[in-house]
Amino acid sequence: QVQLVESGGGLVQPGGSLRLSCAVSGRTFSNGAMAWFRQAPGKEREFVAALRRGGYTYYADSVKGRFAISRDNAKNTMYLQMDSLKPEDTGVYYCAADSQIILSNIRNARGYDYWGQGTQVTVSS
C-alpha cells in the first residue's frame, strides 16, 4: 500500500524558514513526479512546487525564489525548503505523487493519484 506522510509544519514568524518532509512507502516515484500543494481555509488547493524525473523542478510564481523542492531517492523522501515565509504562505501543505503524470497536469492537483494527510504551516507574528 502506498503511503505519503508529511511532517515539519509548524508556526513561524514572517521571514522565517521551515523544511517540510514527505516520506513515501510502498512505492517509488523517482521516474514519475512528486509535488507540494497547499490549501488555505476556504480556498481551493493550489500548486506550490513539483519535481519530475530527470531533476526538473516547477514552482508557483508566488513561491519562486523562496521555496526549493528536492528529493532523496535513497530515503524515498521529498522535501520542501521554505525560506522568507510570508503570512500568505499559511495553509495545510500536502504531499502528492504520481508514477505517470503528463507534463500538462504537473501543476494540477487532479493529475496526482496519491496524497498525504497534510501538515499545517502557519506564518504569523
Q: What is the mean pLDDT for each group of 10 consecutive residues in the chain (125 residues)?
A: 96 98 92 95 96 94 98 94 98 96 92 97 97
* Cell 513539483 -> residue: 50
CA nearest to 87, candidates 41, 37, 44, 32: 41
**Cα(76)–Cα(82) distance, integer angstroms:** 20
Order of strands, sheet of 67-72, starting from the edge strand that comes earlier in the sequence: 3-7, 18-25, 77-82, 67-72
User: Quick one: pLDDT at residue 28?
Assistant: 87
User: Quick one: pLDDT at residue 73?
Assistant: 87
User: Quick one: pLDDT at residue 102?
Assistant: 87
